[in-house]
Amino acid sequence: MKSLLLKMAWKVGRNAKSTVVGIKNLILRSTTELLKPTQIVYMVTDRCNSRCIHCNIWRQEPVKNPLTPKEVEQVFSDELFRDVKYVLCTGGEPSIRNDLQDIILSIHRALPKSTIQLSTNGLLPDRVIEVVKTTIKHNICFDVGVSLDGIGEEHDKIRGVKGNFEKADRLIHELVELRKSDNNKLRISAGIVLSDLTLHSLPEVRLYVKRLNVDLTEAWYNEASFYDNIGKNVFSNQLIEAVKLQPSSPLQEVWLKALRGKSIKFPCFAMYTFCVLKCNGDIVPCLNLFDMKAGNIGEKSPTDIWHSYEMKKVRKIVKNCQGCLNSWGAPWSFESSYYQILLFYLKHPRIVMERLRKK
């Protein structure tokens, strides 16, 4: 029993360091000592050339003066961000910006040891490829995630643009070729938004990424209000079936338990080790609490915002937030949740016994 628990803890935590970091973050989160961000989502633009049926950002009036590459470098050079390991560049659609290469280079100059991730819909494959070639030339640790909510017309229907799959497919294949020239350092992934609109396409998408040897990110449909509406039970039942299709793992059973309505609330670390930087300079907790800004970098430095009274008020809201599944599934809470998942197993030995019987 003890050896199995240790094995599970290792698998979930990946290594002992992650567990130690998780314990440290949990302790610091409950004290007055502030944590610093290790992961940032930077919304490069709020403009988008997709017409996704599960997203309304393309319907909104875009920001007129998004952060310039120079401003981006100044922001990420702030002392607050010195420990940042990952910067996810998203949107909208980042590749819409003609200066995306300059933005990536600005982030790299400010944070040369950080991994930069780009999320794209693949509608502008040539521009993305040029960006990737630039990152290879400058030896930037770079990840590219391409949206893939189905194969062929299924993807186009959800994304609202005819020919989207063809362009995304071409981009992924060209990235695979570029990866060879980068000694396989370039990380490529496809991303599917799990919802009742995409679950039937999941097996086919999994076969697609397996054939090309790229990763697959399976993200929950994440509209906060959705989890409190009438249809949530139907959606949860469909997600349960999707999770069952995944390879057996400790986290899989945590997901299943949560989707079945059990309480497994892990602390969310938004505004502790993670935050979102909007294209207008606002700092907000996450994509669900998108309008809850703690400050704007045009008015205060990131460090001043992080220690401000407004940030303190936002953290109180985050601490009590019940709006999404991110507290146990999102990357920014993952490292700190490893320890919590281990505790979950200690509190539920029956699951351990079930896994033993399966073996």
CA distance 294 to 217: 29
CATH class entry, domain 35-336: alpha beta
Q: Rounded to two decimals, what is the model's pTM?
A: 0.80
> Of 11-15, 101-105, 175-179, where does mean pLDDT reach its minimum?
11-15
What pLDDT does residue 312 have?
A: 93
pLDDT per residue over 190-233, tens digit each? Answer: 999 877 788 889 999 999 999 999 999 887 665 443 333 333 44
Could you tell me which residues are beta bridge partners of residue 193? 219
Of 289 and 90, the one with more pLDDT:
90
What pLDDT does residue 102 have?
A: 98
Q: Considering only CA atoms, which of 333, 308, 305 is closest in space to residue 78? A: 305
What pLDDT does residue 120 have?
A: 97
What pLDDT does residue 225 have?
A: 39
What pLDDT does residue 108 have?
A: 98
Of 344 and 180, the one with more pLDDT:
180
Domain positions in the chain are 35-336
Average pLDDT over residues 96-102: 97
> Of 105-114, 138-147, 230-239, where does mean pLDDT reach its minimum?
230-239
